Structure 1
């Protein structure tokens, strides 16, 4: 079903002619997902990107006798959902690799904080924790702009430009001479590095139908969680055998290589942009062929102007976060997950270098337990997620998919988070063999990424047409937790110890993480039905 306001936003008009070429409204471009189309909202003019006139850069109102330009049937090869599996997986992998390196940068400096403190005269405790966390604070701001802009100018342009920004300021971090410079450069690099966190879900929603989306998200969501676990391993050896400055320079080198690979491997996926290009191409061909003598790209009254369109897009994440119960619930749920992850990551250097007296390089190897949990859960849980979705769609949905069909795996994963935290905390408290806290870390990581993966896919399934803006709202709130939680971690563990400190996290996980899936399962559909933005089936 199409929205009238969406069609107005995407029309090219040609005055004084009997034929006008416009792109078909594809804001609901997931109609091949096997799900019911979204209901017509009251006002959705801000929900898709504009069609820009190739000469004037403006948007025209529709006039009489419009020829609609859409996909050439359900099997149109230009539709990203009909790309070959190879092409779609290449694009998914590139986005996942973009998403991986930014979280690596967020934590890679952790084992070298003592070196940084000595060189730049940064006091231990809060000062050094701020150097680590300031990067994640930028995650709470960048997505509010980058996600919506990708729904105006397209996914690839915003992603490439933002990551160029990230590359430049990662390089600058390696040349910082004062604490203030490093804080500023880390924050600005974080703004650019937040782009794939906001744009990546939109790319996957463009590419994959709902029945196959879980597997793609399994690869994508590994980045934000696997990155913070892998980063300290690499950073520990770099800090031990080189200087902390090479932590940032190595990230810049990797980012430059990914930028080059992305240019060749990642094409635009956002359907309104692709159809806008198609409409402009057909209009140009019509003029050149002489088949339409009066065909002109001189638009009539423009509505809305591009600045107004950008303004609407930038307001969208705030609107979603303030008015959508599903977004609020998912944001709070991921806030708890993300904050807990960064609290645990903050304790790791202390546990292995202080409690177990290991060198920074050897101590960093213990992050493999987290990385292994993240990786195995991403591979196996994502496949199971899609199978459960398809099964429930046929048995309980009567052929109709629902975002709530992503919830069942969150029940056991939430319990794994609780169990892992208790094992990790008390084994460190009593200084058991090093394998025991690693087992607890593995269980915690496994439960966390499954919960994270399911909640992320739930959000995209519910807000497919505006997936980038919806995830931007969620990322903003959860990133505040990733920034703030590590700042009070040293004081909490000094006061409570590792046993009761992690037990406190476990009790919070028991009180928040376990009831949350129940709420999504029993009340999620009711909350979506009350929303003009979420899909209602």
Structure 2
């Protein structure tokens, strides 16, 4: 068989596997491709077991991709909080007198998270996930290193913002990569690891930053992370391969066109109207369209935004609590962040073990044995309860200035609830917007990052006026009002909303 015939056979459409594979089948089994075919040959997977389909990769390969992507999402968030213990030292070195500007040196990185995914997520749907992820991470590496060389406030804020733009890539793309590789029944554990990484990063960052600041220059707060990120970049180059179906099939179609000289070979996404400019324009607008038109995205984005805002509020105010009220050194004060990490681990393990099980049971009881994204929501209820409970425990024990273990217990309870709620919501979003998971992630990250940027700016004024007790009680009340109705609303109205959506799985 000639090379052209071999490629031709490999390009035969196979049985449909999902929305990305719903190409019509043509009878090419008994005839050789003519030099000028009358039929349009559509390129798709070579059947349901095509090894080129990332969903058919071995478990070892899937978990390798999951771990490497999670490493990307672990490194970048460390930068959000690692400077918190060093802010006073940075302020003295750069002669920053304003408390607002000093907070901006920390928050400008998080602000970039709000805008980066709107460009990076859609670009990954044009050029592929892996290429965009690695180039954006290189951009982050360069400007995070530059932060260590900053000589004034303007340079620090600008370098932090630019580093945040590149560092937002794992959040815009990571969920899409996991959606590409894992089927819904297996996705829970991979999402558990993926969502744990960005939550542990801000927890370990202040622990590292406190001891680095005490023992060496504050500039090494940035350079240490750059060294670790360079190692992750190498791992990504060695082990990551493209997972986005349109990009994989487009390369396959291009090879067929080059080998046969026949321009009829194409994928379902390659149409005459799909020029580069039109595709890029649509991809850049899609996150805004999802955020503006999809009630499911709006509910998820609003709740996760509030949770992340509270997380960064806690992260940035803990150094003041432990150094001023409990009179601990900067290094020892950073150890209290471990309690939040313990909460995250407990929340991750419990949710990971139960999420897939809870998903499978109602699926088996359904008439058609078909899973629904709403099967991810039951664990959101205890998560929405534990979040305000932990905030109240932490706030009033800190207000009463009791033994240091009591505020840490409250922080750990908050961490368990935060992790359960986050993991359920993000898995639900991935299951609902599978093909557009990157754009859906960009839409959710926008509000979440704005909250993470703004909450630390008003936190000192809130605690100064209300104290830790009433201040955290106010946060707990809002968390209850926003979070507790969410699972019930999505469970009842989610299927109807998905059916009316042109972007959601199973929609029109």
Q: Do the structures match in fold with TM over 0.5?
A: yes
Q: 1:523 aligns with which of 493, 503, 508?
A: 493
Partner of 2:174: 200
- Is 1:392 the counterpart of 2:366? The answer is no
Could you give the per-residue CA deviations for residues 47-97 of structure 1, whole angstroms, max 9, x where no partner exists? xxxxxxxxxxxxxxx984022322121111111011111100010001101
CA distance, structure 1, for counterparts of residue 447 and residue 9 of structure 2: 42
SS state at 1:140 partner: helix
Deviations 1:240-283 (A, max 9, x none): 11111101111111111111111001111111111112222233
Distance 1:226 1:252 in 2: 18
Give me the whole-angstrom Cα distance separating, in 2, the residues matched to 1:335 and 1:428: 25
Q: 4+ residue runs of structure 1 moved beyond 6 angstroms?
A: 19-26, 297-301
2-structure distance, mates of 1:75, 1:477:
39
The equivalent position to 1:335 in structure 2, one of 301, 305, 320, is 305
Match of 2:412 in 1: 442
Name stretches of at least 5 consecutive residues in structure 1 with no aligned partner. 1-18, 32-36, 41-61, 288-294
Contact 1:428 1:499 in 2 (8 A): yes
- Taking the aligned partners of 2:254 and 2:287, their CA distance within structure 1 comes to 30
2:53 pairs with 1:83: no
**Match 1:534 to one of 479, 499, 504:** 504
Aligned to 2:286: 316
1:66 corresponding residue in structure 2:
40
Distance in 2, matches of 1:482 and 1:219, equals: 22
Q: 1:436 to 1:470 in 2, by over 3 A?
A: same
2:21 touches 2:45 (CA, 8 Å); kept in 1? no
Asked if residue 138 in structure 1 is aligned to residue 107 in structure 2, the reply is no
Paired residues for 1:289-438 under 5 Å: 295=262, 302-396=272-366, 398-438=368-408
C-alpha displacement at 1:143, in angstroms?
0.2
Residue 162 (str. 1) matches residue 132 (str. 2): no
After superposition, the CA RMSD in angstroms is: 2.5
The answer to whether the Cα contact below 8 Å between 1:154 and 1:268 also exists between their aligned partners in 2 is yes
Residue 380 of structure 1 deviates from its aligned partner by 2.9
Structure 1 residues 143 and 30, CA, compared in 2 at 3 Å: closer, same or farther? farther
Q: Is the 8 A contact 1:22 1:69 kept in 2?
A: no
**Which residue of the other structure, out of 217, 225, 233, is the alignment partner of 1:243?**
217
Aligned to 1:474: 444
Residues 323 and 183 (structure 1), Cα distance of their counterparts in 2 relative to 1, 3 Å cut: same
Give distance in 1, aligned partners of 2:419 and 2:57. 28
Question: Matched residues in 1 for 2:310 and 2:17: separation?
Answer: 34
Moved more, 295-304 or 226-235: 295-304
Distance of 1:248 and 1:355 partners within structure 2? 28
Aligned 8 A contact 1:30 1:205 in 2: no
**TM-score, normalised to structure 1's length?**
0.86
Give the distance between the partners of 1:298 and 1:149, measured in 2 at CA. 24
Contact 2:188 2:355 survives alignment (8 Å) = yes
Look up the match of 1:514: 484
Q: Cα distance, 1:124 vs. partner?
A: 5.3
Preserved CA contact (<8 Å) 1:126 1:487: yes
Describe the superposition over 1:12-48 as per-residue Cα deviations: whole angstroms up to 9, x where unpaired: xxxxxxx99997999x9973xxxxx5999xxxxxxxx
Partners of 2:349 and 2:135 lie apart in 1 by 30
* SS of alignment partner, residue 328 of structure 2: coil
Equivalent in the alignment of 2:69:
95
Counterpart-to-counterpart distance in 1, 2:499 and 2:260: 44
1:23–1:275 contact (8 Å) kept in structure 2: no
Distance 1:501 1:25 in 2: 60
Matched residue, 2:26: none
Is contact 1:38-1:535 (8 Å) kept? no
Secondary structure, counterpart of 1:87 in structure 2? helix
Corresponding residue SS for 2:41: strand
Alignment-derived partner of residue 47 in structure 1: none
> How far apart, in 1, do the equivalents of 2:42 and 2:21 lie?
21
Contact 1:20/1:65, CA 8 A, preserved across alignment: no
Shift of 1:536: 2.8
| 1:215 aligned onto 2:189 | yes
Alignment of 1:114-129 (within 5 A): 114-123=88-97, 125-129=99-103
Q: Write out per-residue CA displacement over residues 260-316 of structure 1, whole angstroms, 9 at most, x where no aligned residue.
A: 1110011111111111122222334445xxxxxxx3589999533212211111011
Unaligned runs of 5+ in 2: 1-6, 23-35
Alpha-carbon displacement from aligned partner over 1:369-423 (angstroms, at most 9, x marks no partner): 1011112322331121011001111124641111111100000111111110011
Cα 1:433–1:526 shift into 2, 3 Å = same
In 2: Cα distance, 1:466 partner to 1:421 partner: 34
Higher relative contact order (CA 8 A, sep 6+): 1
For residues 397 and 227 of structure 1, do their structure 2 counterparts lie closer, same or farther at Cα, with a shift above 3 Å needed?
A: farther
| Residue 176, structure 1, aligned to residue 176, structure 2 | no
Change (3 A) 1:110 1:535: same
State the secondary structure of the residue aligned to 2:241. coil
